Amino acid sequence: MIGVVVVSHSERLAEAAVELGMQMVHGDAPPVRIAAGADGRFGTDAAAVAAAIDDLADSPGVLVVTDLGSAVLSAGLALELRESTTEVVVSGGPFVEGITAALVLAATGAPLGEVAREVSAALGAKAAQLEPVPDAPVLAPAPAATAELPLSADEVLVNPEGLHARPAAMFVQAVGGYDALVDVTNLTTGTGPVTAKSLIGLLSLGAKQGHRLKLDGHGPDAATAVSELRRLLADGFGELPATAPH
C-alpha cells in the first residue's frame, strides 16, 4: 500500500480528519504519518514533513495531502529536504474529502497515480449534490474497457440512505479485490458512468433509495465482481432495518 502524509496547521485537525477517514477503511489501513503544527503552534514545518515522508520510505509511493496554502509551500520545500527517494505526489485535493478518498483507495492497494487522481477529484461529490449546479464538475471518464466481453446488470438501491459514503466505500473495497473494472451508472438520474473504484465518483452519482443502478464489468474477474456488487446492493449494504442479515 502507498503511504499517506497529512500536512496541517493543526495537530488536532489532522488527527480528527484521519480518524474520520479511517471510519471508511475496513481491514488493513495504509500507513499514515501526520506532520502538523510548527514549534507547538498553528503552522507547518517543512523539516517535519520531510521526516514524515522519509518515515514512509519503504512504501511504493507517498501521497501528501495538505490543508491551507502554506502547507503546500512546506510540502514543496520538504521534497527538497527529504533524504528518501520514494515517489511522492503533493495533492491539490481537498483536505477532509481527500484524506478519506486517499485512505479508502490506498487500502485496496491502488498505485500512487490512481490515488492521486481520486484525491484531486474529491470535491466532485460535494459539488454534485448542490442544486442548482452552475458549473457541474466533469466526471472522470470511465477507464477504457479491456478486450473481455462487457458484463452488465441492473439493480435497485434498497437501503434507505442510498449510496452514501459507507456503502460507497464497501463498493470500492469489493471491486479492489478483483482483477476487474466496473462502471456504475445511475439510470434514474442519468448520472455517470463512474468507476466503482472511485469513492468520490460513486458519491457523485447522487444515488438514493429506489434509484436504479447499472453495473458494467470488464476484465477477467468481471462476472464475480459484478455479482459481488449485486449482492451488496440487494443486501442493502447491511443497512436494511429489520431484514438485514448482516
Partner 1 sequence: MRTLEDSRLTVDDLIAWLVRFDDEIVEQAGFLTELDSAIGDADHGTNMARGTAAVRVRLTETPSGDAGAVLKSVGMALVSTVGGASGSLYGTLFLEMAKSVGTASELDTAVFADAFRAGVAGVVARGRAEPGDKTMIDALQPSVEALSAAASDGVPLAESLQSAAAAAAAGRDATIPLVARKGRASYLGDRSADHLDPGATSAAILVQALADSHAERTR
Positions marked catalytic: 164
76 versus 137: smaller Cβ distance to partner 1: 76
Rounded least distance, CB 14 to partner 1, Å: 15
Give the SS3 label for residue 105: helix
Which residue has cell 466496473? 182
CA–CA dist 79, 2 (Å, integer): 17
Query: By the criterion CB under 8 A, which residues form the site for partner 1?
Result: 9, 37-39, 41-48, 69-70, 73-74, 76-77, 80-81
CA–CA dist 128, 108 (Å, integer): 25
41 versus 246: smaller Cβ distance to partner 1: 41
Candidates 63, 32, 35; CA nearest to 49 is 35
Residue 245 has what DSSP assignment? -
CA–CA dist 96, 217 (Å, integer): 30
CA–CA dist 133, 124 (Å, integer): 11
Rounded least distance, CB 76 to partner 1, Å: 6
Is the previous residue joined to 193 through a cis bond, with omega within 30 degrees of 0? yes
77 versus 240: smaller Cβ distance to partner 1: 77
Rounded least distance, CB 3 to partner 1, Å: 22
Rounded least distance, CB 35 to partner 1, Å: 12
CA–CA dist 201, 125 (Å, integer): 7
44 versus 173: smaller Cβ distance to partner 1: 44
In the chain the first and final C-alpha atoms are separated, in Å, by 28
